[in-house]
Every structure is written in C-alpha cells, then in structure tokens.
Amino acid sequence: GQQLNQSPQSMFIQEGEDVSMNCTSSSIFNTWLWYKQDPGEGPVLLIALYKAGELTSNGRLTAQFGITRKDSFLNISASIPSDVGIYFCAGPPLNRDDKIIFGKGTRLHILP
Amino acid sequence: DGGITQSPKYLFRKEGQNVTLSCEQNLNHDAMYWYRQDPGQGLRLIYYSQIVNDFQKGDIAEGYSVSREKKESFPLTVTSAQKNPTAFYLCASSFRRKGTQYFGPGTRLTVL
C-alpha cells in the first residue's frame, strides 16, 4: 500500500535556526496535511495543501505541495522552544477518501 | 466551543479487564477514527466509521471493538484479547470524504 516516508527522523537544532523537513511517497497524493504533536497531546493540524505547487504559510511555518505530487516540505523559520514536538505529514491514499495515512514523524529537539 | 473530547486523560486497568475509552465530538463531523500510538512511533489506525451504525476495521483491529450509535460518539473498547494494550489512544473526526482530520487530546491507557 501507499506509504509516506518522512525525513529526517529526528533533528537537534539551536534556538533561532531554521528547520526543514520533508515527506515523500512512491505514489501520488492529492492532499498533503502537516500536523504537530506536543508531548502527551493529540496532533494539531498546521497546514493543509490541496494543489500541486501550492505554497502555504502559517506564521513561521511554510509548507509546499511538490510539483510531482509525490512529496511535500515543511519549513520552520527562527525556531523557538515551543516548536519542540513531532511533526507528521499525512494524506488520503489515492482513490481512497475515507481515511488518511501518516508518516512516522520528524521529532524536533531544540538545544538550550 | 467546538471540539473533540476524550476521557479520561489517564486510565489504569488490571490485566484481563475490558476497558472503554470515550470519544465525543460536537463538530458535526460524519466520520470518526481511533488510532493507537506507541512511544516514539507514528499513528496506527484501529477502527473508523464514516456514518452512524457503520464502521470498518483499520490496520490493527484485533483485540478492539467499537460502536457508532450516535453521530457525536465513537467509544472504543480495549478487550482482554488485546495482547499489548498499554499505549496512547487518539480519537479523530472529519467531514465525510474530506481528508482533514481533527484530533482529541488522547487517553493514555496503562494495563498493570
């Protein structure tokens, strides 16, 4: 079945640095979703992308829907301590609109 | 205030006991989902329901059961047949045939 591969698995950065992570698939997605999960909480939707090439921002976060429709990128500018958490990409499999699949997540750590 | 509620936040049970986790939403969403998350892992789909009185097995349904008698509610029962029930359980909901899911705060189940 379709899978989403996220990289990197984890990141250790200094406060103030920019962050970039991506999500790839061997098959096409028509929607890309980016979620953030704080420790012990449920994931929160950050950005939803619906069109190939689309670039959408939400504050310091920017996400892009890849032109090939097989990848998506999430960038965080000027990281702050509350950015710590797990970032998941997700999307509905092709020809399935009754569920979505998730990547395994990128865990972001910010060094003091 | 619209949202998804899960209760309780923390739940402890003895081995061999069934336990039911609550999930309620007032977003008027048609579809509801249950996921399991283990430490350092992604989300795995247990069961989902697109409409009242109908539900489908996800990827790891064995040892779990659900019901969908009301649009707003989708309780999950973790039965004694589930071999490794200790985990973080997340409920989500969405409009039918729309990919974007919204999550509750989660219930951490510990079986002693």
What is the per-residue pLDDT across B76-99, written as a single tens digit (0 to 9) for each? 999 998 999 999 999 999 998 777
Half-sphere exposure of B34 (CA within 13 A, CB side): 30
Predicted confidence at residue B1, as pLDDT, reads 62
Whether the pLDDT of residue A10 is over 90: the answer is yes
A3-to-A26, A29, B4, B60, B67 alpha-carbon distances in Å: 7, 11, 27, 16, 28
Structure tokens at B16: 């061999």
Under DSSP, the state recorded for A92 is P
CB within 8 Å: B99 and A100: yes
Q: Is B43 close to A41, i.e. CB distance below 8 A?
A: no
- Please say whether the beta carbons of A85 and A36 come within 8 A: yes
DSSP assignment of A43-74, as one string?
-EEEEEE-STT-EEEETTEEEEE-TTSSEEEE
pLDDT tens digits, A43-78: 999 999 999 999 999 999 999 999 999 999 999 999
Tell me the per-residue pLDDT of A78-111, one tens digit each, with 9 for 90 and over. 999 999 999 999 998 877 777 889 999 999 999 9
User: What is the per-residue pLDDT for B47?
Assistant: 97
CB contact under 8 A, B99 and A33: yes
> Phi/psi class of residue B16: alpha, beta or left (left: φ > 0; alpha: ψ in -120 to 50)?
left
Phi, psi of B80 (to 5 degrees): -70, -10
- CB nearest to B99's CB, from A97, A105, A107: A97
- For residue B109, give the H/E element and its range: strand B107-111
